[in-house]
A = this chain, B = another copy of it.
Amino acid sequence: MEIAEILKKSLLFSGLENEHLSEVAAIATRRPFARGESLFSEGEPAAGFYLLAQGSMKLCKVSPDGKEKVLHFVHPGETFAEAAFFGDGKYPAEARATEKGEAVFFPREGFMGLLERNPRFSLNLIVSLSLMLRRFARQIEELTFAEVPARLAAHLVELAERKSTAFQGKTYLDLDMKKGELASRLGTVSETLSRAFRKLKEEGLIEVEGSRVVIFDMEKLRNAAGRRPA
């Protein structure tokens, strides 16, 4: 695979236009490695950062009692040791291959030179990272939201069992805490809790007015509560 293709598949550079990909490719070098090989060791001056193209790599430190502690495993497509640009400019851990593979190396000076020479490149990279970050943040929000309506339903069922009034098939109850407290009790934030209330309302399960909740169909609400993973 060409370096530009490897870059295109990476988290960091995937959003770049071809013109800018070639500029990064021009300062990068390939660095194949064998299993067990070290790319750098802890405390060594940081000469640059890496992108794992294939294979597997771990970042580890040796603790005072001589035991190895793995900080994290690097996945193909991820960059590592970017943070070494900051702080004291030394690699904070060792990078050792757990299987053979290849990395791409970006020397510190070369990368800084690129940013100095070409602010359009910086802008392109910053914008593409910003867009990806927003997309990821929303995806996390969606994935995290998935369980909140079920947790809310479970909480309402529980509340209703403790204290509620039934009338003509409907169940009336009062929330026993403020919505902010309820949100944190359910492991979420107010905004997401409001969305969960809205979802249960839209499904025709409940109606809410202030702190008063009307449950239209307790059985359906119980089902909604059961839709969460154990």
Q: Which residues of A contact B (CB under 8 A)?
A: 11-12, 78-79, 82-83, 85-86, 111-112, 115-116, 119, 122-127, 129-134, 136-137, 139-140, 143-144, 146-147, 150, 226-230
Contacts and interface: CB of A to CB of B under 8 A. Distances in A.
Given A129-B133, A144-B143, A146-B229, A122 B124 contact: no
Contact of A127 (B85, B134, B226, B229): B85
Task: Count the copies.
Answer: 2
A179 to B, nearest CB: 18
What 5 A-B pairs are tightest by C-beta distance, nearest first? A122-B122, A136-B136, A129-B129, A115-B119, A143-B143
B124 A126 contact: no
A123 B84 CA distance: 12
Given A11-B130, A78-B137, A227-B229, 13 more contacts: A11-B134, A11-B137, A12-B130, A85-B123, A86-B127, A112-B119, A115-B126, A116-B119, A119-B122, A122-B126, A132-B133, A150-B229, A228-B229
Nearest to A111: B123
A152 to B, nearest CB: 14
Contact of A129 (B85, B124, B126, B140): B126
The A interface, classified by DSSP as helix, strand, loop or mixed, is helix
Contact of A130 (B123, B129, B143, B230): B129
Given A133-B133, A137-B11, A125 B126 contact: yes
A126 B124 CA distance: 10
A129 to B, nearest CB: 4
Contacts of A124: 86
Given A119-B115, A140-B140, A229-B228, A127 B83 contact: yes
A146 B228 CA distance: 12
A140 B139 CA distance: 7
A37 B78 CA distance: 42
Contacts of A115: 115, 119, 122-123, 126
Nearest to A82: B127
